[in-house]
């Protein structure tokens, strides 16, 4: 089974052996590039780029933001090393979660550059009105709108006008991913979470 465009479960098992309990930054950089970046790039970013390059601003913004909202949950669950399981809360095992809301809010309020833009109240509103609206009803809710990009190119959202700038949001997501990659190579708990997540993906 392929878990990126070019890496399989067997590839992960080999890489896992080389990085488990390893402090070699080169090995961790390669693991990040081959598996994390490879998965995000092939499953999310390349499809988004294809949509944007063919966009006449007549609806692709909804599709792009839906993909980005889906990606956020993957990014945060990787950071925490958690796996989604549909079950009652009292049935959850260690490193499992059964709801996306807190995962999504944690990402927006704790991970830069998003944490510079979102308070917890604002993150809850965004989750309910944008993320859930798009995924469940193919529509933003409560007055939220999607625009291509802000004048500055880094605004991500404007809370006053309830506007999300999809291109800024994508750029911020890529910035986070690169920061995560730099943190991963020298952070033991983050490395353990990375291994847990990819073990689950390959299980």
pLDDT, one tens digit per residue, over 79-112 is 999 998 888 888 988 999 898 999 999 999 999 9
Question: Cα angle at 24 between 23 and 30, to 5 degrees?
Answer: 125
- Place 183 in a pLDDT band, splitting at 50, 70 and 90: very high
Query: Lowest mean pLDDT: which of 2-11, 84-93, 112-121, 173-182?
Result: 84-93
Q: Which candidate, 169, 170, 174, 165, places its Cα nearest to that of 57?
A: 165
CA distance 163 to 153: 13
Question: What average pLDDT does this structure show over 64-88?
Answer: 94
Report the predicted TM-score, pTM, of the whole model to 2 decimal places: 0.93
Bridge partners for 97 per DSSP:
84
Give me the pLDDT at residue 57, please. Answer: 59
Mean pLDDT across the chain:
94
Measured CA to CA, the distance from residue 109 to residue 54 in angstroms comes to 32
pLDDT, tens digit, 9 for 90 and up, residues 14-63: 999 999 999 999 999 999 999 999 999 999 999 999 888 876 656 688 99
């Amino acid at each position: 089974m392929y878990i990126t465009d070019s890496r399989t479960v067997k590839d992960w098992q080999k890489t896992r052996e080389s990085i488990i309990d390893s402090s070699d930054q080169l090995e961790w950089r390669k693991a990040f590039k081959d598996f994390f970046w490879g998965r995000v790039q092939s499953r999310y970013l390349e499809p988004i780029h294809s949509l944007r390059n063919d966009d006449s601003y007549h609806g692709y913004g909804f599709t792009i933001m839906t993909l980005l909202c889906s990606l956020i949950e993957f990014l945060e669950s990787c950071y925490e090393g958690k796996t989604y399981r549909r079950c009652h809360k009292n049935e959850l095992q260690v490193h499992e979660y059964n709801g996306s809301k807190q995962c999504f809010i944690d990402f927006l309020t704790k991970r830069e550059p998003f944490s510079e833009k979102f308070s917890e109240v604002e993150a809850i509103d965004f989750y309910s009105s944008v993320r859930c609206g798009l995924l469940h009803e193919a529509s933003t809710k409560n007055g939220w709108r999607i625009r291509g990009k802000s004048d500055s190119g880094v605004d991500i959202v404007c809370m006053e006008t309830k506007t999300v700038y999809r291109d800024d949001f994508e750029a911020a997501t890529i910035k986070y991913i690169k920061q995560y990659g730099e943190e991963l190579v020298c952070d033991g708990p983050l490395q353990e979470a990375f291994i847990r997540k990819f073990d689950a993906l390959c299980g």
